Amino acid sequence: MDYADAADYEVFRRKVMMLTGIDLGLYKSQQMQRRIRSLLDKVGAATFAAYGNILQRDSEELKRFRDHIMINVSEFFRNPEKFKELEKKILPELLRNSPNLNIWSAGASNGAEIYSIAMVLDDIAPRGYHKLLATDIDSGAMAQALAGVYGALDVRNVSKDRLAKHFVKEGSSYVISPKIKSKVQFKMHNLLADRFERNFDLILCRNVVIYFTDDAKQVLYGKFRESLKDDGILFIGGTETILNSRELGFASTSPFFYRRAPLGKEAAAL
């Protein structure tokens, strides 16, 4: 990228920060620019700065922009074999320590992930007072989660029993039951800017950090660690790995599951 391009993107970055609170500097620059360029082409903007001006005066385009850069793909029981492990091993272990679990789906998109957890808990620990929090930066995704209406592809990994028990079929759609919906609290939250709640037994952050810079990821994982109880678990996406997990204070229990562990100095003092 030459100097003029970099300066153009920087002006745009600042405008987006002002309009949305999203700092594009914390997302991988090349991938993000490629995604945004397709929007420039659609509206005929010659530069990022010109597109920024359009975003400032056109709230519809601003919404389109937010939806486009935040990729919302999700589904129930995504990576079913990992959800099996969660159901058969991870959650039962956590439940032995505390019968009422505190769980956070961070970057929850349309809610399919946290509703999957709610269904599992309804089967394996129905008497617990579990706290299930789902957050996302994208208001469209949160609205979809609250509506709880899904298509056949979204529910393709849901067992027949759970489909019958927790959904109502309306035409070609599947609507989540009020019982499961009532178990989850949804909130707007920017993982790169907002305050984190604490005391979680389990945090799911899956398929969210793919576009974050390495530095932003390191800070984020550090904050997740702080938000977990001792021995709490971080569950990440099926294409992700935390390379320096020990340094960050995590022990890898099996692929995609990390347990909070003492940090270097804490470990040495034990």
Ligand X SMILES: C[S@@+](CC[C@H](N)C(=O)[O-])C[C@H]1O[C@@H](n2cnc3c(N)ncnc32)[C@H](O)[C@@H]1O
Enumerate binding residues for ligand X (CB under 6 A): 70-74, 78, 107-109, 113, 136-138, 141, 189-192, 206-208, 237
Q: Which two tokens stand for residue 141?
A: 């995704």
List Cβ neighbours of 10 (8 Å cut-off, separation of 6 or more): none
d(C-alpha 143, C-alpha 233), whole Å:
28
Query: Which residue's CB is nearer to ligand X, number 207 or number 227?
Result: 207
Residue 189 burial (C-beta neighbours within 10 Å; 0-12, 13-18, 19+): buried
- Least distance (Å) between residue 75 CB and ligand X: 6
d(C-alpha 6, C-alpha 194), whole Å:
27
- Least distance (Å) between residue 107 CB and ligand X: 3
Which strands sit side by side in the sheet containing 173-176, from one edge to the other?
149-150, 173-176, 167-170
Query: Which residue's CB is nearer to ligand X, number 72 or number 98?
Result: 72
CA angle 34, 40, 42 (to 5 degrees): 110
Query: Which residue's CB is nearer to ligand X, number 64 or number 246?
Result: 64
Query: Which residue's CB is nearer to ligand X, number 36 or number 45?
Result: 36
- Least distance (Å) between residue 3 CB and ligand X: 28
- Least distance (Å) between residue 27 CB and ligand X: 8
- Least distance (Å) between residue 43 CB and ligand X: 22
d(C-alpha 258, C-alpha 270), whole Å:
20
- Least distance (Å) between residue 71 CB and ligand X: 5
Query: Which residue's CB is nearer to ligand X, number 99 or number 238?
Result: 238
The residue length of the chain stands at: 270
Query: Which residue's CB is nearer to ligand X, number 56 or number 72?
Result: 72
d(C-alpha 249, C-alpha 247), whole Å:
5
